[in-house]
Every structure is written in structure tokens, then in C-alpha cells.
Amino acid sequence: MKVAVLDDYHRVFDADPAIERLRRRAPVEVFTEKITSLEKLKDYPVLIALRERTRFDAAFFERLPRLELIAQTGNHAYHVDVAAATRAGVLVGMNSSDLQSMGGVARSTIELTFGLMLAVMRRIPQTDRAMRRGEWPSFAGRTLSGKTLGILGLGRIGREVAVLARAFEMQVLAWGPTLTAERAARSGATFMELDALLQATDIVTVQLKLSDESRGLLDERRLRLMRPHAVLINTARGAIVDEAALARILEEGAIAGAGLDVFAEEPLGRDSPLRRLDNAVLTSHLGWPADSTYRTMAEGMVSIVEAYLDGRYDKALNPEALQHRAR
């Protein structure tokens, strides 16, 4: 049973130990460039999908009638039309519980969250650019110590952000759509309603999942509740923040800065006003791609395929797909 790994842009999976282990059971081909023709995949019953880089819709499944399994990581399947997969008899394998216990995927995002905080507060990218121009810039930076951090979403990642924030001697406030004061306190945070939190914090970091409730949550009204010296950090999902409103507010100086790793549309458009702002630090969705993350992801995806080869479907999001296949 042939297996294809899709979209390995960073060229890390070919020599990964988990992939090497899988190769002892099945032929595995790693594609490092985006697939432009589905004809290349017609002979692969199993696809290993790298996060959300490939969209799996009804047309995709119609073009690949031999497809049996999509193995993917993460705790969601935003990029998969699960109903269409089920009708086509294609299992969608997820391994989010194992990934969470290993912690690798979250760790790289957590570290980048603080990297962006430091980059914005200490103007690291701007200073580097000035130094390369032969300048010797001088300004008073701002420490994290003593500041108030507001965490939107106190889930697996948000809780770890709270732990590190306390190590920086920050006061931690938190809000989430289902968060309670008791749960916040267990993470060393103080629960506060969203609007009040935005008005009370020096730094706001978004750690929410994308959902109908969180999409567009930080609209212009809410962004303007933030203090003039406040900073916004987003390593979660771009669509949670109104980017056009944020760009206007940053340009006005109504808030001090932003560190953004995620955007509503990726890659970020060349004409995006965010690209022109000196008080915005932008990274290209670097939160999860890192060495330990990739090892964790490979292990998770391979375990899905191994379970399938062993006739176990407990990692399938849609086991009912097997009934459609039988027809």
C-alpha cells in the first residue's frame, strides 16, 4: 500500500526516523513541492497531509477513487470536508491526543509567542535593520517583567503561556468563551471579561481556536479598547483579528505595536498595509514549524498509518466512512 507525504516544503520528513520505520512496511514517497496535478496521487491509497496546506474537498475525493486514508496532525480538520470524505469512503485519521501528551507542537508556538513579545517590546527587528544601515539607534525599551499579560484562550497552549509569563514576573489575566474564574486560578491567572481585559493589559496574546465564536472576535471596537502603549500578539489564527482595523489602529498609533505570525489569508498579500508599518513585527506562520515539532508530527502521522495497516480505526475521525466504502 503506497503512502505519499504531501507538502514537505521544509524537506524534513524524508530522513525522519518515524518515516523510515513506516518504509519497512510500505513504500513512502515524500513530495516537497505543492501538488499541481492530482494525477500524481492516483496510485496512493494513503496520504499523509501536513497540517492545512492541501484542501480536501468533494472534487478532490472524486478525482482519487483509490484513496482510503488521510493521516493528518492537529486537533482539527479545517481543511478537510469530512462529510465528503465519509461519502467517498475515505477515513480521516487524527492523532491530537498523542500529540498533546508529547507537547512538541504546542511548545514551538509558545516559544514564538514570547519571541514576538520581546521583538515588539525591545524593537529588535527595527534595531537590526538600522544597524545594518550603519546607524546606532538609541531608545528606551520595555521589559516584560512587571507588565500585565492578557491571554485570550486558556487551553493547552494558553496555560503554558501563563506558566512562562509568571517566570517573566508578569501579572496574568485570562478570558475564554468557556473559561471560569476557578479554572483560570488553577493556571495562576485571574479571569476577566473580554472588554475589561483589553482595557487592563499591557500585552494581549491570542491563543484561541478558530471557531464561529472566535472569528472576527477582535474587531475595531474591541481593538480600540486597548491602551495606547499596549501590544497585540497573535500566533493562533489570523481570522480572529480584523486585520484592516488593526492596520488602521497601528498606523494611528492608537496602540503601540503588534507581533503577528498568522493572517486571514496566507501568504500575506504583497499590498497588505501591515507590511508598511514600522510598529508591526511580522513572521510567516513560523509558530509550529520547528525541529521538535516536526518529529512529533511525523510520529503522530505514522502512528495513524500503522494503526490502519494493522486494521485498527480508533484514530479515525469518521469511522463510518468504512460503511460507505463497503457499498
CA distances (Å), origin 282, targets 3, 30, 249, 263, 319: 35, 30, 16, 10, 40
CA distance 283 to 269: 13
Query: Grid coordinates standing for 37?
Result: 496535478
User: 272: which residues sit within 8 A by CB, 6+ positions away?
Assistant: 243, 247, 263
Concerning whether 266 is annotated as a catalytic residue, the answer is yes
* Helix (H/G/I), strand (E/B), else coil: 39: helix
Concerning whether 10 is annotated as a catalytic residue, the answer is no
CA distance 289 to 285: 8
CA distances (Å), origin 66, targets 1, 58, 161, 266: 11, 14, 43, 31
**Catalytic annotation, pick one of 123, 159, 237, 299:** 237
Q: Is 178 exposed, middle or buried (0-12, 13-18, 19+ CB in 10 A)?
A: exposed
Q: In this structure, are residues 242 and 105 in contact, taking their beta carbons and an 8 Å threshold?
A: no
Q: In this structure, are residues 256 and 278 in contact, taking their beta carbons and an 8 Å threshold?
A: no
* Residue closest to 33 by CA, chosen among 65, 10, 16: 10
CA distance 111 to 105: 11
Concerning whether 275 is annotated as a catalytic residue, the answer is no
The β-bridge partners of 69 are 46, 91
* Residue closest to 317 by CA, chosen among 44, 73, 93: 93
**Catalytic annotation, pick one of 123, 243, 285, 299:** 285
CA distance 194 to 138: 36
The β-bridge partners of 56 are 80
**Catalytic annotation, pick one of 265, 266, 312, 325:** 266
* Helix (H/G/I), strand (E/B), else coil: 225: coil
Name the residues annotated as catalytic. 237, 266, 285
